[in-house]
Chains A and B, each alone.
Chain A
Amino acid sequence: MSNPYVPYPVRIDRIAIENDARDLKTFEVAFLDAEHASAFRHTPGQFAELSILGTGECPIGIASSPTEGDSLLFTVKKTGVVTDELHRSREGRVIGVRGPLGNGFPIERMRGKHLVIVGGGFAFTTLRALIRYVLHEEHRADYGDVTVIYGARTPGELLYKAEVDEWRARDDIAAHITVDEGDEAWTGHEGFVPAVLEEVAPSGADAMMVLCGPPVMIKFTLPVVERLGFAPADTILSLEMRMKCGIGKCGRCNIGSKYVCLDGPVFTREELSKLPAEY
Chain B
Amino acid sequence: MDARMLDKADLATVLERLAQTRRLIAPVEDRTGAAFASVDEVAAIRLDYRNTSLSAKEIVFPQTEPLLVFRDGAAEERIPAAPGAVLFGVRPCDARSLTMLDAVFRGGETEDPYYAARRDELTVVALTCNEPGPTCFCTSVGGSPDDGSGADVLATDLDDGLLLRAITDRGEVLLGELDAGRPAEDGEIEAARDLAARAAERMENVPVPTDAAALLATFDSDLWSDLAAGCIGCGACTYACPTCHCFDITDEQKRGTGHRVRSWDACTFPPFTLHGSGHNPRPTATARLRQRVLHKFSYCPENFGEAFCVGCGRCVVHCPSGIDIRRILARLDAVLTANSEAGGPTR
Chain A interfacial positions (CB closer than 8 Å to B): 1, 3-7, 9, 52-58, 79-80, 83, 94, 96, 240-242, 244-245, 247-257, 262, 276, 278-279
User: Could you tell me the distance between the alpha carbons of A262 and B303 in the complex, rounded to whole angstroms?
Assistant: 12
* A241 contacts across to B, CB distance below 8 A: 273, 275, 281
From 250 to 279 in chain B, residues with beta carbon under 8 angstroms from any chain A beta carbon are 250-251, 253, 256, 258, 260, 262, 265, 267, 272-277
Most chain B C-beta atoms within 10 Å of own C-beta, residue among A80, A94, A253, A257 = A257
* A251 contacts across to B, CB distance below 8 A: 104, 245-247, 265, 267, 295
Most chain A C-beta atoms within 10 Å of own C-beta, residue among B74, B110, B260 = B110
* Closest A residue by C-beta to B219: A276
Judge if B216 is at the interface, Cβ distance under 8 Å. Answer: yes
* Closest A residue by C-beta to B303: A257
> Are the CB atoms of B68 and A5 closer together than 8 Å?
yes
> Are the CB atoms of B258 and A53 closer together than 8 Å?
yes
Q: Closest CB of chain B to A70's CB: distance in Å?
A: 21
> Are the CB atoms of B303 and A279 closer together than 8 Å?
no
Q: Report the tally of A-B residue pairs with Cβ distances under 8 A.
A: 115
Q: Mark B35-52, 1 if CB is under 8 A from A, else 0.
A: 000000000000000000
Which of B73, B216, B274, B299 is in CB contact (< 8 Å) with A254? B299
* Closest B residue by C-beta to A96: B75
Q: List 14 A-B contacts (CB under 8 A).
A: A5-B112, A5-B114, A54-B251, A79-B276, A94-B73, A240-B275, A245-B247, A247-B108, A248-B110, A249-B105, A250-B246, A251-B295, A254-B299, A276-B216
* B272 contacts across to A, CB distance below 8 A: 242, 252
> Are the CB atoms of B251 and A53 closer together than 8 Å?
yes
> Are the CB atoms of B249 and A245 closer together than 8 Å?
yes
Q: Mark B110-146, 1 if CB is under 8 A from A, else 0.
A: 1111100000000000000000000000000000000
Judge if B287 is at the interface, Cβ distance under 8 Å. Answer: yes
> Are the CB atoms of A252 and B273 closer together than 8 Å?
yes
Which of B110, B245, B275, B295 is in CB contact (< 8 Å) with A242? B275
* B258 contacts across to A, CB distance below 8 A: 53-54
> Are the CB atoms of A1 and B110 closer together than 8 Å?
yes
Most chain B C-beta atoms within 10 Å of own C-beta, residue among A54, A244, A248 = A54
> Are the CB atoms of A257 and B281 closer together than 8 Å?
no
> Are the CB atoms of A244 and B75 closer together than 8 Å?
no
* B273 contacts across to A, CB distance below 8 A: 241-242, 252-253
Q: Closest CB of chain B to A60's CB: distance in Å?
A: 11
From 62 to 82 in chain B, residues with beta carbon under 8 angstroms from any chain A beta carbon are 67-68, 70, 73-75, 77, 79
Interface residues on B, range: 35 or more
* B111 contacts across to A, CB distance below 8 A: 1
* B185 contacts across to A, CB distance below 8 A: none
Q: Closest CB of chain A to B22's CB: distance in Å?
A: 27
User: Could you tell me the distance between the alpha carbons of A256 and B256 in the complex, rounded to whole angstroms?
Assistant: 40
Which of A4, A53, A247, A255 is in CB contact (< 8 Å) with B75? A53
> Are the CB atoms of A278 and B282 closer together than 8 Å?
yes
Q: Closest CB of chain B to A263's CB: distance in Å?
A: 10
> Are the CB atoms of A278 and B245 closer together than 8 Å?
no
> Are the CB atoms of B246 and A55 closer together than 8 Å?
no
* B298 contacts across to A, CB distance below 8 A: 256-257
> Are the CB atoms of A249 and B104 closer together than 8 Å?
yes
User: Could you tell me the distance between the alpha carbons of A250 and B266 in the complex, rounded to whole angstroms?
Assistant: 10
Most chain B C-beta atoms within 10 Å of own C-beta, residue among A94, A241, A251, A256 = A251
> Are the CB atoms of A257 and B299 closer together than 8 Å?
yes
* B303 contacts across to A, CB distance below 8 A: 257
* B253 contacts across to A, CB distance below 8 A: 53-54
* Closest B residue by C-beta to A5: B67
- Assuming the contacts A53-B70, A54-B70, A256-B216, asked whether A6 and B248 have C-beta atoms less than 8 A apart, the reply is no
User: Could you tell me the distance between the alpha carbons of A5 and B73 in the complex, rounded to whole angstroms?
Assistant: 16
User: Could you tell me the distance between the alpha carbons of A144 and B301 in the complex, rounded to whole angstroms?
Assistant: 41
> Are the CB atoms of B249 and A244 closer together than 8 Å?
yes
- Assuming the contacts A249-B245, A251-B267, A257-B298, asked whether A3 and B77 have C-beta atoms less than 8 A apart, the reply is yes
Q: Closest CB of chain B to A104's CB: distance in Å?
A: 14
Judge if B201 is at the interface, Cβ distance under 8 Å. Answer: no
* B276 contacts across to A, CB distance below 8 A: 58, 79-80, 83, 242
> Are the CB atoms of B247 and A250 closer together than 8 Å?
yes
Which of A53, A55, A83, A279 is in CB contact (< 8 Å) with B281? A279
* A257 contacts across to B, CB distance below 8 A: 212, 216, 298-300, 302-303
* Closest A residue by C-beta to B258: A54
Q: Closest CB of chain B to A238's CB: distance in Å?
A: 15
- Assuming the contacts A242-B275, A244-B249, asked whether A262 and B299 have C-beta atoms less than 8 A apart, the reply is no
* B246 contacts across to A, CB distance below 8 A: 250-252
* B74 contacts across to A, CB distance below 8 A: 9
> Are the CB atoms of B108 and A262 closer together than 8 Å?
yes
Most chain B C-beta atoms within 10 Å of own C-beta, residue among A53, A56, A58, A244 = A53
Q: Closest CB of chain B to A279's CB: distance in Å?
A: 5
> Are the CB atoms of A250 and B281 closer together than 8 Å?
no
Can you name 20 extra interface pairs (CB under 8 A) apart from A6-B77, A242-B276, A278-B281? A1-B113, A3-B113, A9-B74, A53-B70, A53-B75, A53-B251, A55-B251, A57-B249, A94-B73, A241-B281, A242-B273, A244-B248, A249-B245, A252-B273, A255-B281, A256-B216, A256-B298, A256-B299, A278-B282, A278-B287
